[in-house]
């Protein structure tokens, strides 16, 4: 499986099996990348409700008519039916500046559930329903694991609701022994031997 990174407010990843992870890249850039590689998008997986990850979800879902996947605890927020409780600094700051068109979540995934071979792994802490997606030994981590200096790192404290839980989730994700981690920010991290 090929993975293409599309930079934006956060990284979006396009995979050759027709999945897009996160919607931080503009729909136009996503469309351009799909055309370059001859890939359609069947599913949009969302890792968490932070605006830099869902900013373009509505326009991407509309452009591709794809099914949107998100965790059960965050679906109502992503759909705009609920406001996040104790929104972090980032969320409060952005939501006062940017209006995001909310998107319908077609598939609300539980922990451990797999869609198209992508297993949802709940990784709470950064946000209460942060979710990573594992395909084989490739891990799409959202902000539960970010990249710093080429190595896996915890997300910045100031943008993380529960640092203790985020640390537990970080360790849990690394214990899955992924070969490559595709983080929400920074560059892909290769851990393979
Ligand atoms: Zn985040």
Mind listing the pLDDT tens digit for each residue in 179-191? Answer: 999 999 999 999 9
The domain segmentation of the chain, as residue ranges, is: 3-190
Q: What pLDDT is recorded for position 88?
A: 61
Q: What pLDDT is recorded for position 100?
A: 79
Sign of the Cα pseudo-torsion (15, 102, 124, 148, in order): positive
Cα(159) to centroid of ligand 1, in Å? 7
Cα(111) to centroid of ligand 1, in Å? 19
Question: Which of 37-46, 56-65, 88-97 comes out lowest in average pLDDT?
Answer: 88-97
What is the overall mean pLDDT for the chain? 93
CATH fold label, 3-190: Metallo-beta-lactamase; Chain A (3.60.15)
- Whether residue 22 has pLDDT greater than 80: yes
Nearest to 183 by CA among 39, 24, 60: 24
pTM across the whole model: 0.94
Nearest to 141 by CA among 161, 114, 120: 120
């Amino acid at each position: 499986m090929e993975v293409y990174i599309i930079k934006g407010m956060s990284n979006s990843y396009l995979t050759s099996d027709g999945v897009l992870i996160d919607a931080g890249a503009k729909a136009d850039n996503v469309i351009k990348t799909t055309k370059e590689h001859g890939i359609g998008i069947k599913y949009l997986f969302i890792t968490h409700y932070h605006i830099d990850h869902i900013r373009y979800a509505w326009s991407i879902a509309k452009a591709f008519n794809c099914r949107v996947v998100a965790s059960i605890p965050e679906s109502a927020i992503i759909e705009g039916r609920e406001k996040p409780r104790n929104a972090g600094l980032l969320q409060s700051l952005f939501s006062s500046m940017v209006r995001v068109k909310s998107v319908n979540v077609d598939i609300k995934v539980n922990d451990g559930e797999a869609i198209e071979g992508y297993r949802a792994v709940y990784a709470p802490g950064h946000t209460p329903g942060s979710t990573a997606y594992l395909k084989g030994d490739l891990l799409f981590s959202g902000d539960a694991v970010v990249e710093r200096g080429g190595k896996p790192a915890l997300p910045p404290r100031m943008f993380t609701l529960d640092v203790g839980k985020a640390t537990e989730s970080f360790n849990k994700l690394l214990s899955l022994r992924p070969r490559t981690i595709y983080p929400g920010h920074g560059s892909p991290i290769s851990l393979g031997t």
